């Protein structure tokens, strides 16, 4: 008889503990649901957590591929040579697009021209026939990724381009570098002048050096 009473007591204790666990679990779930609903309600009226500033977000990783042709930087004398390519991270592309070629051969003039738009600049030296591939890290504050090829005898309007990093992040940027001009086969180019007709940037048929 005493053994049966002991079993009943243990059963009762286990039942109470089990019921208490269910109750606490239900309370936790209820609190979670209520918290989520309250957060959604606050955000709906503009009182919720503010958006994370662009400066605090991780940088974009824009795939960049540079193809150096066998006639790289050959200009008009047909002698292929190494080529310096500069990559500019910019807040805005306007001053970059308006700057003449000589601006990018003089560091002090370049800095003065680009001013506060310039976030970062780095350069890559390519040799004929080389392929250069990288995931370029571009801060979220940047509105443009500028690319300048310092050709010996640059073709007009084909030695620099500005790309939209947000729109180019998935597709990647693909550039060919030739005797005096660049071709573009991937990425979203920011037009230098909205009034001019779009060029076929993947072709060299209309290009002349100098």
Residues 34 and 133 in one domain: no
Residues 72 and 29 in one domain: no
The 3-state secondary structure of the chain, one letter per residue: CHHHHHHHHHHHHHHHHHHHHHHHHHHHHHHHHHHHHHHHHHHHCCCCCCCCCHHHCCCEEEEEEEEECCCCCCCCCCCCCCEEEEEEEECCCHHHHHCCHHHHHCHHHHHHHHHHHEEEEEEEEECCCCEEEEEEEECCCCCEEEEEECCCCCCCCCCEEEECHHHHCCCCEEEEECCCCEEEEECCECCCCCCCCCCCCCCCCCCCCC
Does residue 202 fall inside a structural domain? Answer: no
Could you tell me the pTM of the whole model? 0.74
pLDDT 10s digit of each residue in the chain, 210 long?
Answer: 445 455 455 554 545 454 445 445 554 444 454 455 555 555 555 565 667 776 688 999 999 999 999 999 999 899 999 999 999 999 999 999 999 999 999 999 999 999 999 999 999 999 999 999 999 999 999 999 999 999 999 999 999 999 999 999 999 999 999 999 999 999 999 998 755 555 689 999 888 998
Residues 78 and 174 in one domain: yes
Domain count, the chain: 2
Expressed as residue numbers, the domain containing 27 is 1-50
Residues 118 and 163 in one domain: yes
Residues 64 and 135 in one domain: yes
């Amino acid at each position: 008889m005493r053994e049966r009473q002991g079993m009943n007591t243990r059963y009762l204790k286990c039942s109470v503990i089990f019921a208490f666990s269910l109750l606490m679990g239900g309370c936790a779930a209820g609190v979670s649901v209520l918290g989520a609903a309250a957060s959604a309600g606050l955000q709906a009226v503009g009182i919720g957590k503010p958006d994370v500033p662009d400066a605090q977000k991780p940088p974009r990783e824009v795939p960049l591929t540079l193809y150096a042709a066998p006639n790289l930087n050959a200009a008009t004398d047909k002698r292929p040579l190494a080529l310096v390519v500069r990559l500019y991270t910019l807040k805005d592309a306007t001053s970059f697009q308006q700057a003449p070629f000589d601006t990018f051969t003089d560091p002090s003039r370049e800095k003065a021209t680009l001013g506060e738009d310039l976030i970062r600049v780095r350069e890559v030296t390519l040799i004929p026939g080389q392929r250069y591939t990288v995931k370029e890290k571009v801060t979220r504050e940047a509105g443009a990724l500028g690319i300048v090829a310092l050709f010996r005898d640059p073709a007009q309007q084909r030695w620099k381009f500005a790309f939209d990093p947000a729109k180019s992040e998935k597709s990647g940027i693909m550039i060919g570098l030739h005797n005096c001009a660049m071709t573009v086969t991937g990425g979203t180019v920011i037009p230098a002048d909205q009034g001019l007709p779009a060029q076929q940037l993947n072709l060299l048929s209309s290009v002349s050096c100098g």
